Amino acid sequence: MTRQRASSSAQYRAVLGNSELVALLGARLLSGIGDQLARVVLALYVLERSNGNALLAAGVLAVSYVPSTFGFAFLGSLADRFPRRSVMLWADLARALLVTMLAVAVSRDANMLAVLLLLAAEMFSAPALSARSSLLPDAARSPVEYQAVVGLGTTFEQVVQVLGFLLAGVALGVTSAGWVLLFNALTFLISYLIVLAFVEPRPAAAAAGTSARRMMRDAKSGLRTIVKSGDIRAVVVLLWISAALLVATDAVALPYATEDGAPPWAATALLAATPAGAALGALLVARLPMERQVRLIFPLAFASTVPLLATASEPPVAVAVVLWAVNGLCQGYVVTLMALSMQLTPENRRGRVFGMAGAGFNAMAIVGLVGLGAVAERTSPAAAVVLAGALGLSILVISAWWWPHRQVRSAVRATFGGTARLP
């Protein structure tokens, strides 16, 4: 065990020695923090002006997923049709401009314009993330290094949420929403410079150029690849199911803390609890051999529903933070699903498959946020969380029975070969 931990630590050090991977991780960390700041600032902005309406607050978070859902489905193939580095650069510039306009709109209380600008900015996130995820296997020097960088990347994604949630609460206490959004625009510009300086230019993976008809055809191609490949289909569908569990606490965290009389910083701490646990969970799971990760998928998934069910006692915010952090910790299995979805996909289809997978993931997140927000408004935030846990457990039992265990294990051995275990 000690030897395995040492070797996995060495693999993480190797990743950090790869300047291109570090640049991709760093750029995403910066822009992701800015994204979360914008979402939470607008959610708190709406919650304050709606006298604590849980559905409206959850709706703002859900709205941020809507454009990227369609963007993933129809723009994900841009990461195949154009050089992936160029896609990331143009997306960063577009988001910097739109978020600057968003900051001006919020400072002038232009509520509807602010929502429209948020939708437009989020649309560019989809091709940027598709390009980044599709680049990771090329920038990694081995399948094991790729496995490690996906673990770090998933951890960073959760850290992004934690920092975004916490910084939003602190920032709104010392400055205005407009200035926070300007900081968000700055993160996109810094991300642009990092990618420009450190990410290697590569040609497009598929035939260059695009059109509305081709994007539609590429979306169908990505969906067809998922549906016709048993192992990819199993991984992606479970990833979609997991999305609703990942956002279960996001949907009600702010009204839950408000009902408990907690200050804004405590509310954002509760919002950050699940992603904080998920960050640690992803880091721990990614250290394991891939074969063992696959065996742990369902045990961890089942365990993640227990803290949600325990919320039935309506614990105080401090206890809820611990419970929801454990929920996130158990969701570390998502890193395995993400690594498998890219490694099992042919290189020239990664963008469109990631796009369709991301579209389904976001669609489930929207359903979870809006549905649980509505339940919380009619009953209580705690009841909504318990319902999510109960539904999640039921669906996971069906999924475990349906899951093609032997086929997935065979695909893992074929893909990772002798590197399925860390050396």
Cα–Cα distance measured from residue 321 to residue 276, given in angstroms and rounded to the nearest whole number: 10
Per-residue confidence (pLDDT) for residue 422, from 0 to 100:
32
Determine the residue type at 36: Q
Which of helix, strand or coil describes residue 288? coil
Per-residue confidence (pLDDT) for residue 93, from 0 to 100:
93
Cα–Cα distance measured from residue 46 to residue 209, given in angstroms and rounded to the nearest whole number: 41
Contact by Cβ (8 Å): 368, 214 = no
Domains and CATH numbers, the chain: 2-198+219-416 (1.20.1250.20)
Which of helix, strand or coil describes residue 344? coil
- At 337, list the tokens: 């699903």
Which of helix, strand or coil describes residue 212? helix
What is the 3 state secondary structure string of 66-114? HHHHHHHHHHCCHHHHCCHHHHHHHHHHHHHHHHHHHHHHHHCCCHHHH
Strands (E) in 202-295, as ranges, are none
Per-residue confidence (pLDDT) for residue 419, from 0 to 100:
46
Q: Is pTM beyond 0.95 here? A: no
Per-residue confidence (pLDDT) for residue 396, from 0 to 100:
92
6, containing H or E segment: helix 2-16
Strands (E) in 192-326, as ranges, are none
Of the candidates 375, 387, 394, the residue with the CA atom closest to the CA atom of residue 311? 387
Per-residue confidence (pLDDT) for residue 209, from 0 to 100:
61
Per-residue confidence (pLDDT) for residue 258, from 0 to 100:
76
Task: Going residue by residue through the chain, which has 423 residues, state the pLDDT in tens, using 9 for 90 and above.
Answer: 344 444 555 566 777 788 898 999 888 888 877 777 777 766 666 656 655 565 565 666 666 666 667 767 667 667 777 888 999 999 999 989 988 888 888 777 766 666 677 777 877 887 888 888 888 888 888 777 877 787 777 777 777 767 776 676 666 666 677 787 888 889 899 999 999 999 988 887 766 666 667 777 777 887 888 888 777 888 888 988 888 888 888 878 878 887 777 776 677 788 788 888 988 888 888 778 888 888 899 999 999 999 999 999 889 988 999 999 999 999 989 888 888 887 778 777 777 787 788 788 878 888 887 888 888 888 888 999 999 999 999 999 998 898 888 878 887 777 665 444 433
